[in-house]
Amino acid sequence: MSRSRRSTSIAGFTSCRSEKDDKKFWHKRMRQRTREVIEAMDVTADAADFPKVREVSEIYTFGKDGRQRFDPVKNPKLMRK
């Protein structure tokens, strides 16, 4: 692993190591809302009744808030994996 380096100088804004718990919570909520629609569904229901991703989840509340470029010359430690 002595050569384990990033190929691009992009890193995530983070306050956590992983988004695993956030994603588990989001998928659970999405399945729950979908199940509610299916249970209440009748003959006249269509695809517009199903929840949209943005209705169920707000990605900016996750532990990682996006990605940003950095200068690898000024921050060589960030190039390590």
Q: Residue 77 corresponds to which amino acid? A: K
pLDDT in tens, 25-79: 999 999 999 888 888 887 666 777 888 888 888 877 788 777 888 898 998 888 8
d(CA 74, CA 22): 32
Would you say 50 and 37 are in contact if contact means Cβ atoms under 8 Å apart? yes
> Which contacts qualify for 70-77: CB closer than 8 Å, 24 or more apart?
70/9, 70/10, 70/11, 71/9, 72/9
d(CA 29, CA 38): 14
Instruction: Give domain limits for the chain.
Output: 10-69
Would you say 72 and 9 are in contact if contact means Cβ atoms under 8 Å apart? yes
